[in-house]
């Protein structure tokens, strides 16, 4: 493939990046990365962030990774069904992990969970609600693949 003839302006459109950052689910997906470094488990004066917890349970690395993938895919992905499925998977994964932790640990798990887990679960709920167009930021554009396909055109 000859990269010298490629028009990168068609591949990476700055307007698509702006649209990406006006969607609630994309902002929540980016917050996965931030909340990954918040305390996920706290016992007394000791705490472990998401990165430390993921070193013991590598599947936890999927949480920030899916957040990054969602935001990176929006400007370049033309298949709305794929993007919507990724967003829903990214929202369901932390909630499912949270439910499993509660089932396995019971009330003790609730007392140990740190603020990072709670924020991640809230962001996961916002991703799901934003993807399904149940909650939007003011003046936000419809989700890619939603029923309302009218988008503002900028000249």
Chain segment 57-91, per-residue pLDDT in tens: 898 899 999 999 888 877 667 677 888 888 999 99
24-35 vs 80-112: helix axis angle to the nearest 10?
40
The pLDDT value given to residue 148: 46
| 5 belongs to a structural domain | no
The DSSP secondary structure of 6-18, one letter per residue, reads --HHHHS-HHHHH
Q: Cβ(39)–Cβ(114) under 8 Å?
A: yes
| 142 belongs to a structural domain | no
- Integer Cα distance of 110 and 103 in angstroms: 10
The pLDDT value given to residue 153: 43
* Confidence at 96, pLDDT banded by 50, 70, 90: very high
| 32 belongs to a structural domain | yes
The pLDDT value given to residue 61: 93
Full domain range(s) for residue 68: 14-46+58-131
Return mean pLDDT, the chain. 80
* Confidence at 155, pLDDT banded by 50, 70, 90: very low
Q: How many residues does the chain have?
A: 155
With H, G, I as helix, E, B as strand and everything else as coil, classify residue 51.
helix
| 6 belongs to a structural domain | no
| 148 belongs to a structural domain | no
| 37 belongs to a structural domain | yes
| 151 belongs to a structural domain | no
| 147 belongs to a structural domain | no
* Confidence at 11, pLDDT banded by 50, 70, 90: low
Number of domains comprising the chain: 1
- Integer Cα distance of 11 and 120 in angstroms: 31
pTM across the whole model: 0.74
- Integer Cα distance of 119 and 49 in angstroms: 12
């Amino acid at each position: 493939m000859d990269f010298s003839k490629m028009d990168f302006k068609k591949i990476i459109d700055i307007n698509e990046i702006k649209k990406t950052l006006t969607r609630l689910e994309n902002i929540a997906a980016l917050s996965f990365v931030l909340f990954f470094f918040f305390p996920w488990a706290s016992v007394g004066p000791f705490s472990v962030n998401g990165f430390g917890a993921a070193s013991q349970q590598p599947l936890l690395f999927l949480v920030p990774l899916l957040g990054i993938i969602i935001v990176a895919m929006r400007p370049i992905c033309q298949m709305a069904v794929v993007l919507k499925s990724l967003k829903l998977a990214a929202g369901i994964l932390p909630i499912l992990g949270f439910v499993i932790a509660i089932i396995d640990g019971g009330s003790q798990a609730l007392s140990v969970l740190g603020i990072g887990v709670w924020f991640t679960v809230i962001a996961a709920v916002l991703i799901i609600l934003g993807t399904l167009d149940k909650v939007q930021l003011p003046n936000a554009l419809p989700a890619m693949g939603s029923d309302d396909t009218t988008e503002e055109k900028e000249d």
